Each structure stands twice: as structure tokens, then as C-alpha cells.
Amino acid sequence: MKRIWAICSFEIKKLFIKPQSYLLMFGMPLLFTLLFGGIMGDSSTGKVTLAFIDQDHSMMSKSLYDTLQNNDLFLLKEMSHNEAATQIKDKKLIGLLEVSKGFENKFASEGQPMVTFKYSPDFTSNAMIDQIVSNAIAKMKIQSTASTVWSNYSKESWEKMYPVLDKEISTSTPSIQKVSITKNMKKQEMGNVSARSAGFSIMFVMIVMMSVTGVLLEARKTGVWYRLLSTPTSRLEVMGGYFLSFFLIGWIQFGVLMAASTLLFGVHWGNLLGVFILVTSLLLCVVGLGLFISGFVKTTEQQGAFGSVIITATCMLGGVYWPLDIVPSFMQKIAEFIPQTWAMRGFTELISRGGSVQDIVAPVSVLLAFSVVFLAIGITRVKYE
Amino acid sequence: MLEVSKVRKSFGKTEVVKGVTFSVERGEAFGLLGPNGAGKSTTISMICGLLPFNEGDITVDGYSVKNNPMEIKKRIGVVPQDIALYPTMSAMDNLLFWGKMYGLSRKNALNRAYEVLDIVGLRDRAKDKIETFSGGMKRRINIGAALMHRPQILIMDEPTVGIDPQSRNHILETVKQLNKEGMTIIYTSHYMEEVEFLCERIGIIDHGEVIAVGTKEDLINRLSGGTVIKMEIGHYNKSLVEELNTLPFVEKIVTKDDERELEIFVNSSHQALGELVSTAVKNNVEVSTIQVQEPNLETLFLQLTGRSLRD
């Protein structure tokens, strides 16, 4: 046991003596979480800006402006036509919405109120803006029709009723109540930051594991392996020492990332025992994968190259970068055979649904099955001579 | 102390060690001399229990490497041909690690590491990373790592490859001193002068076979033509070689370098020199250089195998 610990502690020291290890293990995953989690999670930072040119200066054009301001996709900035044209030319705006003179009159008559939407050719979300504007005009049309009917009975101007209706509709409680399905009373959200935090922790633990499991190949290349086996240290002790070091390095990395993401981004990782079991199974699987790859390659360079390709591809397939719900069904089927899919499912269960240990039995079992296969093949391919 | 008995080793269909037999006494310095690919490293790996062998046996202090490899590993310190150290760690970290691998406690390893650093002359560099060391210094720490547990036998596999003469001398002096203090040394090399300097007994190995074993004097006495005269000639002349072969003091002639260099083994250089030159002149062959080489292990190897140690 002394020798196992000696190998393990030396490998850990060897890793942490290098400053670049801290960047790869902790700096980069936190930075990626901040960038991807923040950008995709905070809706206000992702809004584009459109110019709003009001040629009509009417109650209805004002109403359209107010209605359109309440959306998650874009912000409106009122300005003149020339000003808007200049800003679009300078790429400060991606487009404009122009309300022509006579806009309000179209509501009173039988005509169709029109708004002109001009946008840069590189803007890809134009269909969504088109839909939002159309919906807003349709809503206004219904309100104006109702106001006109009221006007016919009351003999008062429809413009008097319209603002009342508009205010009533915009302040009414929505008929849909959104409830998140959780396993306990403590409501938790798998926000984008939480999801990316789990995802990038998995990805960077895998990257680091590829590197640290490569020490077996490096040891063979440098002669350290030869010397180790010439000492009175058994093969079991040698492999035990290395294996323990890989496992502890993985846990140190994951533990620090969990603590840092909780402090920095407010991520709640859920049931701690569940997280411990899930991360342990994931690490066994990842260490197994590292040994598996090192069993089939000859140099650390090959291990790095193969490892990078495998990690990137499986992270894409396993829902680390984006939710699996948005990918086609055949890719979702492939994802069933990817360890990261099961790890992410486990984290979703713990973080988002407030699950406990019994709720992650399936992901943990699958990860352990992957571990057994990878470790069995990886360890049998280690050459001792 | 060490007995290597009729050991055979094959890789696939190729037999690389063919019944190697030799023994080393306690406190002795034994050299295994042979060219690259002769089977020295394979033999060393088998002694260290790193490579299984097909036939024969190896024992250290009566323990067989087949049955008690760990007992043997406790008694030996191995200096591999490669610099088997961790370059990003300090010399002290490396020595402590290898000390622990040999079963020393941290305290004992620390004390011994300072002693070892003194032996290899690098105490002042204890905290420096190995990657900042020169090739010679790395080789010295490489030896130091094998000394951590005070081994009874120090096995060194070409420990001076690729280093400067000053570092080589330091290493040779260190090993000589260790041997004087009672440590048994097994030293493999293809540098004849290193083996001659260090070792009392020498085994010459080629193509997986030990072709001669004995003290330096024993081996040189075995030379039938003790002296080699190297003669460079303008052009090859068959009749010259035939005539030289008839001379009574000529034992053997080996032609080299496009047959323009003759290595003539003679038993009396004083008598031979004049007659060799006059025979060449008589056969209209120009002699550009002539060199007399006194008998040594290189000569013996050349005579036994027909090729040089560094071929």
C-alpha cells in the first residue's frame, strides 16, 4: 500500500507542479461555462436591436411600439429614417421596422395595416421577427375591431375604447401556469449555466484524464516503466498507484469545479451523495476510456490526437454542448451509447429534478458497465515487458 | 553471487540469447562487452526479472529469478540505458520517489538521498529540475536513483551513452569507488576502454552468445596473433595477400574498407613490420599508412568475430 500511495502522490504532485495544469483543469472549464452558459442563458444580452421609424405618429403606431418592446428576441430604438440608414450601414443595427403614414387609418377602414421590415442579409432570425410583428398587428387588429363594435353601440369614438382594451389585455394573467416537475419541495432549475457547468466539467475532466493516463505510455518511452518494474514493486502495486492517481486527480478537478461553479455561478448540484456516486462512476468510466485508448496507441502524441477526436465527438453526441432535445432522432439514438449522455442525464436528474440516489440508478449502472468494459480491455492491453 | 546458466531467449522465431552462461562473485566488477545488438540489454533485463526467458536459470544469492524475482529485485539496483527519471521534478523528488519504490521510509529516503547526491557530486543541484541538467548530470542522477537502497549488485546498462568525456570520467570514477567499497558491479558497454578500466573480469558477447570470459590478461593471452598491424594500401592485390599469408609470423589477415585496408594479426611485430612493407613493394603495391596496434580486447573481439566492437 505504501508503494501504491507513493506512486499516486508522486503523479499528483507531478501534475500540480506545472502551472498550465491549473489553466486546463480549472481555468478553461470555468471560462467556457461563463461564456457559453452566460450567453445562452441570459436573454437580455442576446437581444438584437432594430430601429423603429414612426411616420404615422398615431396612437396605433405607439401601441405597436409598446407591444413589440415586450419580446425576448429584439430591442426597439426609435429614430429617424436617415439615422437608421446610417446605423445599419455602419453595422450598428441589424435592421429597421418602418410604420408608414396612414397606419392607424388602416385599422379604422377595412384595409390591412402594414409595417416595413428591412434587415441585413447576414441576419438569420428575420422569420421570427416577422412572426412577432405579425402577431402584434393581428392582436391590435382584433382590439381595434372590438373597439369599433363598441363605438357603434356607444356612439363614442373607437379611439377612446382601444387604450382601455389594450391595457386590460396586456395586464391580464396568462391562462397557462408553468410548473417545473421536481422530486422534492426545493425547486431547482437546470438553467443553462448549470447544464453547461456540468457539461464542461465532464469534458475537461475527460481531456485531463486523456493526458494523465498517457503517463503509462510516457513511462514506457522514457524507461521509467522499465525501472519501476525492476524495483521490488509488484505489477498490481504499479497499476494500483497509477489508477488511484488518475481517480484522485479526476475527483480533485471535479470537486474544485463544483465548488467554484456554486460560488461563481450559483449552480446547485443537488443531492451530494448522489453527486458523489455519479461523479465516481463517471470518473471510473473516463479513466477506463483513457486506459482503453492508451492500450491501442503507441505514443502520447497518438493518445492526445485520438483522445481529442473521441472526446469532442462524444461530447457533441452526448449533449454536453447543447440539449439532446434539439438534435434529430437518429442522433438521440446514437447518444444512448455515449457515456456523457448518461452522465448528463444523471446530473439533470440531480440538479434539475431534485432527484436522489435511487433516481440515478440507471445512469450510474450504465456508466459502471462502460467502466467495466473499458477497464477490462485497457488493463489487459498494458504491456509489462 | 550471480549465476547465469544456459539462458536462452527468443522473440518469435529469432533467438537473441543463445545459452548465455557466466557467473559474478560478490564484490567483483564484471563487464559484459559487446557491440550494439549483441544481447547485452536482453541479458540484463532477464537478470532483473523484467523479461521471461525460454530456457536456463538465473540466480542471485541462491534465489531464482523465476521463483523469487522480488528477492532478487531487493538486492539489485538497475541503471537503465535510458534516463529513467521524471524531467519536470527535482533531483531530490526523483531520488525520494525511487527510494520509496525500493521500500525506504520517507525519513530514510531523505537521508539516503543526500548521501547519494554526495556520491554523484550533485548535492548543490538537489532542488533543480532534471530537465535543467546537462546530459552528464542526468546520467549521474540516473545512477544515483539505483543506489538509493544500497543494493548488493549494481547493474549498469551502457550508463555513459551520449555524454561528454568529463562526465564519463566522473561516472567511471564513482563506479570504481563503489566497487572498492564492496558493491558488486555488472557493467555492460561497447566501449572497451570503460570495461577495461572498471572490470576485473570480462565477458565478451556477440550474436547472443558469450564467446569469451576471463580477466583482461587471460583474454589477451588467448590471442593467437597478439598484435595487429593495420596496413592501408593503394590498391587490392590478391597475390600480395596470398604472399603475406605465407609469412611465418602472420596468423590471420582481415581485409576492410573496399579491400584497401588489411588488418594483419602477427605474433611478432618487430620482425613483421619490415617484411610486410618489403613484400608489398615487391608486389608493386603502394603502402600509404601502417599502424601497429598492441593486443587489447578490441583486437580479441576482432579476431573472434571478424568485426569491430563499434560495427
A98 assigned to some structural domain: yes
- Does pLDDT of B15 surpass 80? yes
Average pLDDT score over chain A: 83
Most distant CA pair in chain A, distance: 105
What tens digit of pLDDT does each residue of B28-38 get?
A: 999 988 887 88
pLDDT at A339 over 80: yes
For residue A187, what pLDDT is reported? Answer: 46
The residue type of A301 is E
Residue A179 pLDDT > 60, yes or no?
A: no
pLDDT band at residue A180 using 50, 70 and 90 as cut-offs = low
For the ranges A342-356, B87-101, B182-196, the one whose mean pLDDT is highest: B87-101
Cα gap B178→B120, rounded to integer Å: 11
Contacts of A13 in chain B (CB under 8 A): 89, 93
Does residue A367 belong to any structural domain of this protein?
yes
More confident residue, A280 or B38: A280
Q: Which of A247-251, A269-273, B28-32 has the lowest mean pLDDT?
A: A269-273
ipTM above 0.90, yes or no: no
Q: Are B184 and B1 in contact (CB under 8 A)?
A: yes
A193-204 in b/e form (b: 16+ CB < 10 A) is bbbbbbbbbbbb
What's the confidence (pLDDT) of residue A44?
45
Sign of CA dihedral A26, A30, A31, A36: positive
pLDDT at A178: 58
Under the banding of pLDDT at 50, 70 and 90, the label for residue A38 is: low
Given a cut of 70, is residue A80 above it in pLDDT? Answer: yes
Mean pLDDT of B171-187: 90
Is B19 in a helix, a strand, or coil? strand
Report the pLDDT value the prediction gives residue A42, as an integer from 0 to 100. 46
* Of residues B310 and A73, more confidently modeled: A73
Same domain, A31 and A68: no
Is A367 found in the same domain as A302? yes
Question: A129 lies in which domain range?
Answer: 48-172
pLDDT recorded at residue A311: 87
User: Do the chains contact at A230 and B102, CB–CB below 8 Å?
Assistant: no
Among A172, A199, A224, identify where a domain stops. A172
- The dihedrals phi and psi of B283, each to the nearest 5 degrees, come to -95, 15
Mean pLDDT in residue range B293-308: 73
Alpha carbons B235 and A217: distance in angstroms, whole number: 53
Alpha-carbon torsion A147, A149, A153, A155, what sign? positive
Nine-digit cell at B169? 570520467
Domain count, chain A: 2
The whole-angstrom separation of Cα B175 and Cα A303 is 39
What mean pLDDT is predicted for residues B253-281? 80
Q: What is the per-residue pLDDT for A110?
A: 72
Cβ contact (<8 Å) for B84 and A233? no
Chain segment B180-238, per-residue pLDDT in tens? 989 999 998 888 888 888 898 988 888 888 888 888 878 777 766 567 888 888 878 88
Residue A385 lies in a domain: no
- Asked if residue A323 and residue A271 are part of one domain, the reply reads yes
Say whether B82 and A223 touch across the interface (CB within 8 A).
yes
pLDDT bucket at A364, cuts 50 / 70 / 90: very high
Q: Distance between the two ends of chain A, CA-based, in angstroms? A: 23
Among residues A172, A202, A236, the one where a domain terminates is: A172
Residue A178 lies inside a defined structural domain of this protein: no
Residues A111 and A195 in one domain: no
Does residue B291 surpass a pLDDT of 80? yes
Do A151 and A196 sit in the same domain of this protein?
no
- Specify the pLDDT at position B153: 92
Residue A181, in any domain of the structure: no
Our CA-based measurement puts residue B94 at a distance from the nearest CA of chain A, in whole angstroms, of: 9
The span from the CA of B109 to the CA of A256, in Å, is: 33
What would the pLDDT profile of A85-111 be if each residue is shown by its tens digit?
A: 888 888 788 888 999 888 888 887 777
What confidence tens digit (pLDDT) does each residue in A188-218 have? 455 667 777 778 888 888 888 887 777 888 8
pLDDT at A192: 66
Q: What is the distance of C-alpha A367 from the center of its chain?
A: 22
Q: Do A127 and A22 belong to one domain?
A: no
Is the pLDDT assigned to residue A316 strictly greater than 90?
no
Alpha carbon B38 to chain centroid, angstroms: 11
**Is A19's Cβ below 8 Å from some Cβ in B?**
no
Q: What's the 3-state SS for A311-374?
A: HHHHHHHCCCCCCHHHCCHHHHHHHCCCHHHHHHHHHHHHHHCCCCHHHHHHHHHHHHHHHHHH
Determine the residue type at B208: G
Nearest C-alpha neighbor of B131 from the set B91, B97, B162: B91
Task: Enumerate the residues of chain B whose CB falls inside 8 A of the CB of residue A8.
Answer: none
Integer Cα distance of A286 and B181 in angstroms: 51
Same domain, residue pair A373 and A275: yes
Q: Any CB–CB contact under 8 A between A167 and chain B? A: no
3-state SS, residue A11: helix
Question: What pLDDT does residue A384 have?
Answer: 64
Which residue has 541462491 as its cell numbers?
A: B62
Whether the pLDDT of residue A366 is over 60: the answer is: yes
The verdict on residue A74 lying in a domain is yes
pLDDT at A181: 57
* Residue in B closest to A14 by C-alpha: B89
CA distance B273 to chain A (A): 50
Taking an 8 Å cut-off on Cβ atoms, the answer to whether B50 and A227 are in contact is no
A177, pLDDT greater than 70: no
What lies within 8 Å, CB to CB, of A299 at 6+ separation is A217, A221
Higher-pLDDT residue of A227, A160: A227
Confidence (pLDDT) at B145: 93
User: In whole angstroms, what is the distance from residue A32 CA to residue A54 CA?
Assistant: 42
Cross-strand partners of B214? B202
Kindly report the CATH number assigned to the domain that includes residue A70.
Answer: 3.40.1710
Q: What does the pLDDT read at residue B226?
A: 65
Phi, psi angles (nearest 5°) of residue B262? -110, 130
A126/B contact by beta carbon, under 8 A: no
Lowest mean pLDDT among B96-110, B160-174, B264-278: B264-278
Q: Which residues pair with B291 in a beta bridge?
A: B230
Using one digit for the tens of pLDDT, what is the confidence trace for B123-147? 999 999 999 998 888 999 999 999 9
- Angle at which helix A215-222 crosses helix A272-294, to 10 degrees, equals 40
What is the distance between the alpha carbons of residues A360 and A367, in angstroms, rounded to a whole number? 11
Give pLDDT, residue A370: 92
Q: Percentage of residues in chain B with pLDDT exceeding 90?
A: 26
Beta bridge partners of A225: none
Which residue carries 501504491 as its cell?
A4
Evaluate whether residue A242 is within a structural domain. Answer: yes
Same structural domain, A13 and A140? no
Residues A336 and A200 in one domain: yes
Q: Read off the pTM.
A: 0.70
Q: How many CA atoms lie within 13 A of B228 on its CB side?
A: 22
The yes-or-no verdict on residue B62 having pLDDT over 60 is yes
Kindly state the cell numbers that stand for B84.
529513467
Q: Is B129 helix (H, G, I), strand (E, B) or coil?
A: strand
Name the residue among B52, B86, B93 with its Cβ closest to that of A224. Answer: B86
Which chain B residue has the Cα nearest residue A237? B101
Are A122 and A245 in the same domain? no
Lowest-pLDDT choice from A174-178, A259-263, B176-180, B305-309: A174-178
Asked if B49 lies within 8 A of A230 by C-beta distance, the reply is yes
CB contact under 8 A, A228 and B101: yes
Task: For residues A228 and A294, state if they share a domain.
Answer: yes
Asked, for residue A93, whether it belongs to a domain, the answer is: yes
pLDDT, tens digit, 9 for 90 and up, residues A111-164: 788 889 888 776 767 788 888 888 888 888 888 888 888 888 888 888 888 888
User: Percent of chain B beyond pLDDT 70?
Assistant: 95
If interface means Cβ-Cβ distance under 8 Å, which residues of chain B face chain A? 45, 48-52, 70, 73-74, 76, 78, 80-86, 88-89, 93, 97-98, 100-103, 145
A235 touches chain B (CB under 8 A): no
Q: Which residue in A11, A218, A222, A227 has the most chain B C-beta atoms within 10 A of its own C-beta, making it the best mutation to test that interface?
A: A227
What's residue A138's pLDDT?
87
pLDDT computed for residue B257 by the predictor: 65
Spatial contact of A326 and A316, defined as CB atoms under 8 Å apart: no
Residues in chain B within 8 Å Cβ distance of A227: 78, 80, 84, 98, 145
Q: What is the share, in percent, of chain A residues with pLDDT greater than 70?
A: 90
* Residue where a domain terminates, one of A141, A172, A203: A172
Residues A52 and A24 in one domain: no
